Structure 1
Amino acid sequence: MKKHRLHSNTSSEPPAKKGHWALGLVDSMKDPELLVEDDDKVVVIKDKFPKAEFHYLVLPKEDIPSILTVRKEHEDLLKHMESVGTNLAAKHPHREFQLGYHSVPNMQRLHLHVISTDFNSTCLKTKVHWNSYTSPFFRSSQDIRRELNENGKIKKMSCEECDAYLKGPLKCHKCSTIPKNMPDLKRHILSHIKN
């Protein structure tokens, strides 16, 4: 089965070699042009390829490969990451935000997406991009923390489930509109943006 780049790097695969694109977040954490804020536990950066008007990543300073490798001892860290993301979103009261993780991330280093739901970005180009934030493939921070609390780890989504979500039909995330294609969707979602 063909894997999408979005979920091609999982905890069951060997770690990426130095210089591999999957390690790009580690370099981005050190880029002063991307840095938003940091504290003793996390670094917040602007997403290099934002999929919305506001798209931030909250990354731990601790070297944790992905959401699939977090364990019970990381509960406080995930709570802190969510708190930092919530405070960041509150600085943009004119936009709605969602905070969450891709079920099977493609970039190594745990990262929480803090993304405005306008999805108004030239970097949002494909159905996979859209569905990775607007389907159950994108899991809320609260759901992830609840699962970690209950099970001590995060269950990996199967490739079949990932494909079903990522290849599913385009749907507006705000209403019942089903657009023909990405250009049609991008025109439509502008109608939901409050100025």
Structure 2
Amino acid sequence: MAGDSPPLEAQNTAPATVASESQTGKPGKRDAFAELLAPKPKQAKHTKDCPSTDPSHKRATGGPRDALGAYIANPGSYPPSIVVYHNDDFVAIHDLFPKSTLHLLLLPRDASKSRLHPFEALEDPVFLGKVKEETKKLRSLAAAELRRRYGKDSAQDKKRQEALNADPPPDELPPGRNWEQEVMCGIHAHPSMNHLHVHVISVDRFSDRLKHKKHYNSFSTPFFVPIDDFPLAQHDVRRHPTREGYLRRDYLCWRCGKDFGNRFSELKVHLEKEFESWRRL
């Protein structure tokens, strides 16, 4: 991931137990979120998240596509640079091939659901409710991390930063920028990995791991289905991503809408400029 954050401590707790400054509205002596999310040094690898265009929802077993199962089975064996937190029902990890400056995965641990295609698994209303609630918690943590990284340079966070630096700081901070709006949460219509996972990812699409059309379009077209859109209607066209050709579409900038056709190198230069503008909003 991009950034110059210091090393962080491991905490295997659910995110709801962490009282971040953005949640309480009051300044604290330490950044609790910074103890959960860490920049990644050398890490154990899992396979690249390159979306499949196989129209079948069947999940073949074995091989690299099953790599996420190791985190579900034994999350405590991984450092906090990989596993953000875990509880009885979920594991949150850093995507080892991030497609934005912040890219997390939420892995449900329910064995009866984890190997189903998300369209099938998320039809269960009870399970869907649990996934939505946990995604909301992880999104809040992701937003706090974006504020920690970029808040000092954001015009919308200027008054908040000034309040934080006041001596003494006020009892209640200005709300500042709504960083949760800068986080997308959803699934791929054809996941590349066998185990069910929800992407919790910053909107910037600025990463050296974003290398080709499938990488970009899997997060920039209806191939990416927001978790809040579930349950999907049976006639929803997003159930047929291959037929709709989402991954083959021309490159459109996620922010300004400029059409780059198939010119990926031009898009990448443009994305860097958009990132610098976006983080300073």
User: TM-score normalized by structure 1?
Assistant: 0.82
Deviation at 1:58, TM superposition (A): 0.5
C-alpha distance in 2 between matches for 1:115 and 1:42:
17
Deviation at 1:28, TM superposition (A): 4.1
One of 183, 188, 191 as aligned partner of 2:270: 188
How do residues 88-167 of structure 1 correspond to structure 2 at under 5 angstroms? 88-91=141-144, 92-93=146-147, 94=150, 96-144=182-230, 146-147=231-232, 156-161=239-244, 164-167=245-248
Deviation at 1:158, TM superposition (A): 4.9
Matched, 1:44 2:92: yes
Q: Which amino acid aligns with 2:208?
A: T
Asked if structure 2 preserves the Cα contact closer than 8 Å seen for 1:131 and 1:165, the reply is yes
Provide the identity percentage.
28
One of 57, 69, 72 as aligned partner of 2:120: 69
User: TM-score normalized by structure 2?
Assistant: 0.59
C-alpha distance in 1 between matches for 2:96 and 2:84:
12
Q: Which moved more, 1:22-31 or 1:45-54?
A: 22-31
- Structure 2 unaligned regions, length at least 5: 1-49, 151-178
Residue of structure 2 equivalent to 1:21: 64
Q: What are the Cα deviations for residues 145-192 of structure 1, in whole angstroms up to 9, with x where unaligned? A: x42xx67xxx8325322xx11011011011131225222111111222
Asked if structure 2 preserves the Cα contact closer than 8 Å seen for 1:81 and 1:112, the reply is no
Find the structure with the greater CA-based Rg: 2
Matched, 1:87 2:130: no
Deviation at 1:10, TM superposition (A): 7.0
SS of residue matched to 1:132:
helix
Equivalent residues, number? 182
